[in-house]
Amino acid sequence: MNAEQKKQYQEDGYVIVDDAVDTDMLQPLLDAARRMKAKVRAGEVNVFTHWTPEKEPWGIRGILSPEFNEPIFAEYLLSDSLMKYVEPMLGKELRLGGVMLFTTPDEVDWSGGWHRDFGSNERDGAYEVEMEVLNRPNYGLRWHLALVDDACLQLVPGSHKRYRTDEERECLLNSRHKDLSTQQVMDLKAGQTIFWQGNTVHRGIYNAKPERLSLAGSWRQETEGDEPQKVDERYKWMCADSVRAFLPKKMHGYYDRWRALQLD
């Protein structure tokens, strides 16, 4: 990122760029995403899918798996257009992060509600507790690439650096689907990428129309001292030997660093 982009990312918690995907790769990625969604909806492949209560898919994982057989996603993750943003932020010693497809259910509207990506950390802590979580070093970089126009992501700029307001606390804990006075819609055009921080107060609005097809990905800086943890249920599919064999050789080192920290 240039200095202006990095400043916005640090201050607002996000930045939108136009050139983090090769122009000749965008249509093949879109075609692959639609094939993948069709396989999930037909019941042909279900590596790990997030479903609405009506059994409509809204999040599809496993896109690097041989079951989907779409090698273009790994090609995209390693592309120079993306790495020119990743490496200046994290360096070249990287570990594979998560990757998935966000999509809209075909027949229902759905929303996950307001949240921060705090994992197992306290979500209703006192000021000191919350600020300790927010001030931890950030060793990862996440993004959404819009394969079609996408105005589904909403976030509160700057909320990754401060304690929540009373209004935000109410929405985070109780009224998760109520609008916030400080929310902003991240209105992405096809081919645009938003790099953003998960500690922002955010939500996704998944209306049936228009269609959403956005790739969510992350890379992580390789750091010393990380202890192996029980593998997250959402990522168990990645531990299969067939996944490593399906990945391009250039990705094996990044994958092996991730795999070494997963306890079966």
pLDDT at residue 205 tops 90: no
Q: Is the pLDDT of residue 107 over 80?
A: no
If one counts the domains in the chain, the total is 1
CA nearest to 95, candidates 260, 245, 254, 262: 254
**Residues 62/234, Cβ–Cβ less than 8 Å:** no
We report the CATH number of the domain holding residue 94 as 2.60.120.620
Query: Positive or negative CA dihedral for 90, 91, 95, 97?
Result: positive
Residue 13's domain comprises 3-263
d(CA 134, CA 19): 29
Residue 1's pLDDT is what? 81
Residue 13 — pLDDT band, cuts 50, 70, 90? very high
Q: Give tens-digit pLDDT for 184-194.
A: 999 999 999 99
Q: Two tokens at 92?
A: 């070249």
In this prediction, what percent of the chain has a pLDDT beyond 70? 100
Residues 77-100, mean pLDDT to the nearest whole number: 95
Q: Is the pLDDT of residue 112 over 90?
A: no
Q: Is the dihedral of CA 58, 95, 45, 75 positive or negative?
A: positive
